[in-house]
């Protein structure tokens, strides 16, 4: 299994609508399931911010590069206004303890 | 690192500041492995930008804006290094390494501020209030606007005090800076204070303050109070969730005054921020004497906010990640 985690900044007044639009985009990726998502308020030095973190799981065995590219391509589509993709990275669960290890993109 | 190196990259500065916080600063404060749960990132920015957010499981993610080091450096290049400031710089090996210490302290202050939001439980408390992620076991109620405001002030104060406590370790980070010998502590304090206050001063150039944030002037005074608590902890006592000045001997007062005279005061003067003829300057002087500021609007705001501090402390006590605030816990 391969997981891709996407971190986005949400601006604007309707974070929930933006989140739903993003999830719809990501759920359209072939072979992928959105397994976790949350909108969290980030504390900042000079400004508040909302951060959307989505985990997308590929059930079949695909390479980290393939999974990441598939998500990047999906996010090339029409993103809701004021959504900025900040980070996309791949992680593979450890076989031993259930923790995840980051793999470089 | 040195201030003049052409190839010193912004990202390197951010990375080194993050490593300093994780591997040096917090392990020196607290025996828990809290700081290892922080993932550091940088992100493109043109202003003073840094955030902390919850991350996978019990981790935290801090992203520092790429413009931060250069903005701080630009402000420091305008600092007036003469008189006692120049003399103190020579004792640290020269103006170059001394101002590099100030620069690194400024960037580290930014990074530590964000890490303190996690250490202090601000992020966890806020996450507990998030209907998407809370477990139904809500913390004691605290007005969210008050929480935000006091969180910023607490993160500023804790970051400044932590860096001042790690003065020796900060000095050892800077190439060419002499970290041994007499008088180094006060000299280092001077340049750490210059870096921290130059950074705070930049906040004022960021434009209007967002709702729920203290003004830059209030933040400035709050950090002055933190500097006093660092230098003169014995002149304060904890009462009703906050510090109040206690009666002190003339000798104690004189010793503290001497330290300020040769460290903090010249630093503030170098930044052109210590004009005691203004209400703001009077409040700085009041705070450096352990008194309550009441001359400027920012000073009165700070005094007013401190009245909510005990309630804030109680609400956060179960979310604290380190033992830095043990004295205040129930």
With CB atoms and an 8 Å threshold, state whether B48 touches A39: no
Q: What is the pLDDT of residue B70?
A: 93
Instruction: Give the pLDDT confidence of B157-216 residue by residue, as tens digits.
Output: 999 999 999 999 999 999 888 766 667 888 999 999 999 999 998 988 877 788 778 999
pLDDT for the residue numbered A15: 82
Q: Residue B163 has which token pair? A: 């860096």
Question: Are A86 and B148 an interchain contact pair (Cβ–Cβ within 8 Å)?
Answer: no
Query: Could you say which of B41, B56, B126 has the minimum Cβ distance to residue A87?
Result: B41
Q: Convert the pLDDT of each residue in B245-277 to its tens digit.
A: 667 678 877 888 888 888 888 888 888 766 778
Indicate which of B39, B47, B53 best probes the interface with A, i.e. most A CBs within 10 Å of its own CB: B53
The whole-number average pLDDT for the span A48-66 is 86
For residue B72, pLDDT over 50 is answered with yes
Please name every residue paired with A43 in a beta bridge, in sequence order, or none if there are none: B52
pLDDT of residue B242: 67
pLDDT confidence of B226, banded at 50, 70, 90? very high
Burial zone of B8 (CB within 10 Å; 0-12 exposed, 13-18 middle, 19+ buried): middle
C-alpha–C-alpha distance, residues B12 and B15, integer Å: 5
Q: What pTM did the predictor assign?
A: 0.88
Q: CA–CA distance from A63 to each of A2, A3, A58, A78, B195 (Å)? A: 7, 10, 10, 26, 46
Kindly determine whether residue A7 and residue B61, on different chains, have CB atoms separated by under 8 Å: yes
Considering only CB atoms, B54 lies closest to which of A40, A49, A86, namely A40
More confident residue, B234 or A76: A76
ipTM over 0.90: no
Residues of chain A positioned with their CB less than 8 A from the CB of B206: 46
Q: Is the pLDDT of residue B139 over 80?
A: no
Q: Please give the pLDDT value at position B246.
A: 66
3-state secondary structure B202-258: HHHHHCCCCCCCCCHHHHHHHHHHHHHHHHCHHHEEEECCEEEECCCCHHHHHHHHH
Residue B122's pLDDT is what? 94
Residues in chain A closer than 8 A to B133 (CB atoms): 38, 40
pLDDT at B155 over 90: yes
Task: Please answer yes or no on whether A40 and B47 come within 8 Å at the CB atom.
Answer: no
The per-residue pLDDT for B56 is: 79
State the smallest CA–CA distance between residue A66 and chain B in angstroms.
Answer: 22
Full DSSP string of B106-150:
HHHHHHHHHHHHHHTTHHHHHHHH-TTT--S-PPPP--HHHHHHH
Closest CA to B229 of B155, B323, B165, B150: B165
CA B326 to chain A, closest CA, distance in angstroms equals 23
All residues of chain A having their beta carbon less than 8 Å from the beta carbon of residue B17 are: none
């Amino acid at each position: 299994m391969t997981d891709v985690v996407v971190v986005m900044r949400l601006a604007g007044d309707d974070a929930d609508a933006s989140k739903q639009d993003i999830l719809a985009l990501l759920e359209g990726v072939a072979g992928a399931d959105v397994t976790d998502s949350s909108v969290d308020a980030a504390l900042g030095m000079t400004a508040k911010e909302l951060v959307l973190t989505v985990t997308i799981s590929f059930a079949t065995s695909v390479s980290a590069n393939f999974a990441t590219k598939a998500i990047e391509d999906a996010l090339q589509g029409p993103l809701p206004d004021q959504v900025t993709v900040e980070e996309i990275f791949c992680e593979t669960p450890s076989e031993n303890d259930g923790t995840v290890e980051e793999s470089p993109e | 690192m040195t201030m003049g190196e052409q190839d010193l990259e912004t990202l390197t500065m951010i990375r080194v500041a993050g490593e300093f916080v994780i591997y040096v600063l917090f392990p020196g404060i607290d025996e828990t492995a809290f700081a290892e749960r922080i993932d550091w990132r940088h992100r493109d920015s043109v202003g003073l930008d840094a955030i902390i957010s919850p991350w996978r499981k019990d981790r935290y993610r801090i992203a520092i804006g790429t413009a931060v080091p250069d903005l701080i450096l630009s402000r420091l290049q305008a600092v007036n290094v003469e008189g006692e400031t120049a003399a103190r710089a020579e004792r640290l090996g020269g103006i170059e390494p001394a101002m590099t210490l100030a620069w690194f302290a400024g960037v580290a202050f930014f990074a530590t501020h964000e890490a303190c939001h996690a250490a202090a439980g601000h992020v966890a408390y806020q996450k507990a209030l998030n209907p998407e992620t809370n477990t139904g076991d809500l913390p004691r109620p605290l007005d969210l606007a008050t929480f935000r405001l006091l969180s910023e002030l607490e993160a500023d104060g804790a970051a400044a005090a932590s860096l001042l406590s790690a003065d020796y370790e900060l000095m050892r980070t800077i190439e060419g800076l002499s970290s041994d010998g007499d008088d180094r502590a006060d000299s280092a304090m001077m340049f750490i204070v210059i870096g921290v206050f130059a950074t705070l001063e930049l906040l004022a150039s960021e434009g209007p303050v967002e709702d729920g944030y203290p003004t830059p002037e209030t933040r400035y005074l709050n950090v002055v109070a933190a500097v006093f608590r660092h230098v003169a902890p014995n002149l304060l006592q904890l009462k009703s969730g906050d510090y109040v000045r206690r009666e002190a001997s003339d000798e104690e007062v004189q010793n503290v005054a001497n330290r300020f005279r040769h460290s903090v005061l010249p630093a503030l003067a170098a930044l052109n921020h210590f004009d005691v003829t203004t209400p703001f300057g009077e409040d700085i002087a009041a705070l450096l004497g352990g008194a309550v500021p009441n001359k400027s609007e920012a000073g009165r705001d700070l005094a007013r906010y401190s009245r909510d501090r005990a309630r804030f402390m109680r609400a956060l006590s179960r979310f604290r990640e380190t033992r830095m605030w043990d004295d205040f816990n129930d």
